[in-house]
Amino acid sequence: MKKVNVVIVGGGSTWTPGLLGCLVKFKEQFPVENLTLYDIDEQRQEHVGKFGEVLFRETYPELNFKYTIDKDEAFNNVDFVFCQMRTGGLKMREKDEKIPLNLGLIGQETCGPGGFSYGMRSIRDMIELVEDVRSRSKDAWILNYTNPAAIVAVALNMKYPDDKRIINICDQPVNLMKAYGKILNMDYHDFEPKYFGLNHFGWFTKLYDKNGEDLIPKLRKIILEKGFAPEDAEQRDASWLETYGMVKNMLEDFPDYLPNTYLQYYLYPYYKLSKLNPDYTRANEVMDGREKRVFEECDRIAKQGSIDNLDMVHNDAHADMIVELAMSIHFNQRKTFITIQQNNGAINNLSDDVMVELASVVGANGCEQFHFGNIETFYKGMIENQYAFEKLTAEAYFENSYQKALQALTLNRMVNSAKKAREVLDALIEMNGSYFPELK
């Protein structure tokens, strides 16, 4: 079996330790020869790197593991790039959330003006990453889940329309399937989903079991009666429990399909605004919670020099999904994943260029999405409005266009007023400084 070479970009990410643990879990099915962590922040990455050294020495000694901030060391002779960077770090996320909130708008990492701000920052670094990889390993698969994945996917597709080895993917559909699995006492791997929409903006229309029975009617009934919670509810912060809880409300209003949790911000913007605290946002929760926990645990294990808890730092659906995706490509397993792809007719009545999130079969030749057919007016209207926001955001970046940025934000359902759009755009431009392209 040919062993693969993997680089994890954003080596210092809070999700990396979980991913390292997952590579250990899959070492028989997906044997890795060389594994490298790459980050631009040497000190931050060192915490995870030192933990990795202990982990692999004890559980995977045949693996060559290193961590680096040197691009040549990271990107030469690579088969898979797992990419999870955060331009500007959690400190900038905090500002993306707080600036809109202080102007009476929703402040969220990937949606609304916060998502716009994060998107404008991510595009440049993601383009640099693609260049860095392609100049050294032209055939590497770039599996990206850097957020906001919707905007990153649109921008990378504009810049590299022919590069079919960049796959943008999000773990939220899998997280939702895990939660459905818990309700039904089933393994989510046994579901065959039908899903449509944009990233953080989609719906499950069918969820077949192995016998071909659609489980959605059953799930809808249970959720409407009992509510909805993440599979790992005990480990989740309060804001995530509240978010999952909103699925019941969405189903009461729109019972057709099972919604992605992020739709709560688009469907109930005033209500969500009333619940968000401008002094303590999700970024604060993450910095005080997951970030602190992960780094403390990494440091403890590095100091102790032995692993006493393999499950320790976040090992959720996220890591499994990325490793299973790489395996499906490498061994041409042609398993089904929900990925972000150019529409190209998969949804009949949406234009070809839309970056849709759909179930697709993934193998050695990349993603082949299932044909979906037509979507109904309500969903079409929602998606076209949101895609116009995403596309104008990416165009504003490439064309240095203040006008397009203003149009993007005005269209966003979390802004809607051109006056507010201008206010928040000006504040975000000032806050981001050189992270943003110049918008004229």
| Closest residue by Cα to residue 140 from 62, 209, 79, 185 | 79
Calpha distance 144→169 (Å, rounded):
6
Q: Binding segment for ligand G6P among 29-37, 170-178, 210-218, 365-373 (CB under 6 A)? A: 170-178
- Say how many Å lie between the first and final Cα of the chain, rounded: 54
> Is residue 282 within the footprint of ligand G6P (CB under 6 A)?
yes
Q: What is the largest CA-CA distance in the chain?
A: 60
DSSP 3-state of 290: helix
Size of the site for ligand G6P (CB under 6 A): 8
Q: Which CB, 106 or 294, lies closer to ligand NAD? A: 294
The one among 5, 13, 68, 147 contacting ligand G6P by CB under 6 A? 147
Residue 151 interacts with ligand G6P (CB under 6 A): yes or no? no
Q: Which does 41 bind (CB under 5 to 8 A by kind): ligand G6P, Mn ion, ligand NAD, none?
A: ligand NAD
- 215 by DSSP, 3-state: which? coil
Q: How far is the CB of 198 from ligand NAD (least distance, A)?
A: 13
For the CB of residue 146, give the shortest distance to Mn ion in the complex, in Å: 10
| Residue 282, contacted partner among Mn ion, ligand G6P, ligand NAD, none, CB below 5-8 A by kind | ligand G6P
According to DSSP, the residues that pair with 244 across neighbouring strands are none
Residue closest to 33 by CA, chosen among 66, 72, 68: 66
Does 406 interact with ligand G6P (rule: CB under 6 A)?
no
- Contact yes or no for 7/32 (Cβ under 8 A): no
Q: Which stretch binds ligand G6P (CB under 6 A): 130-138, 169-177, 212-220, 307-315?
A: 169-177
Site membership for ligand G6P, residue 339 (CB under 6 A): no
Smallest distance, Å, CB 147 to ligand NAD?
3
243: left (phi > 0), else alpha (psi -120 to 50), else beta? alpha
Token pair belonging to 401: 């266009």
Nearest approach in angstroms of CB 244 to ligand NAD is 15
Q: Does 395 bind ligand G6P (CB under 6 A)?
A: no
Give min distance, CB of 26 to ligand G6P, in A. 20
Q: Site for ligand G6P (CB under 6 A): which residue of 16, 168, 175, 281?
A: 175
Residue 89 touches which member of ligand NAD, ligand G6P, Mn ion, none, C-beta under 5-8 Å by kind? ligand NAD
Query: Whose CB is nearest to ligand G6P?
Result: 172
CB neighbours of residue 70 within 10 Å: 9
For residues 328 and 410, which CB has a smaller minimum distance to ligand NAD in the complex?
A: 328
Any contact of residue 144 with ligand G6P (CB under 6 A)?
no
As a whole number of angstroms, the distance between CA 49 and CA 47 comes to: 6
Stretch that binds ligand G6P, among 40-48, 164-172, 330-338, 430-438 (CB under 6 A): 164-172
CB 80 within 8 Å of CB 87: no
- Scanning residues 50 to 69, which ones bind ligand G6P (CB under 6 A)? none
List active site positions.
171, 262
Residues in contact with ligand NAD by the rule CB under 6 A? 9-10, 12-15, 39-41, 44, 84-87, 89-90, 125, 145-147, 149, 170-172, 318
**Among candidate residues 439, 422, 437, the one with its CA nearest the CA of residue 103:** 422
Residue in 172, 243, 341, 412 binding ligand G6P, rule: CB under 6 A: 172
The stretches of 76-215 forming alpha helices (DSSP H) are 89-102, 112-134, 149-159, 172-184
> Which of 84, 108, 117, 172 is close enough to bind Mn ion by CB under 5 A?
172
Residue among 144, 216, 192 at smallest CA distance from 361: 192
Identity of the residue, 32 or 286, whose beta carbon is nearer to ligand G6P in the bound complex:
286
Smallest separation (angstroms) from ligand G6P to the CB of 309: 21
CA distance 340 to 367: 9
Residue 92 within binding range of ligand G6P, rule CB under 6 A? no
Choice between 84 and 157, CB closer to ligand G6P: 84
The dihedral sign for the CA sequence 119, 125, 130, 131:
positive
Got the DSSP string for 357-422? EEEEEEETTEEEEPP-B---HHHHHHHHHHHHHHHHHHHHHHHT-HHHHHHHHHHSTTT--HHHHH
Residues that bind ligand G6P (CB under 6 A): 110, 147, 170-172, 175, 282, 286
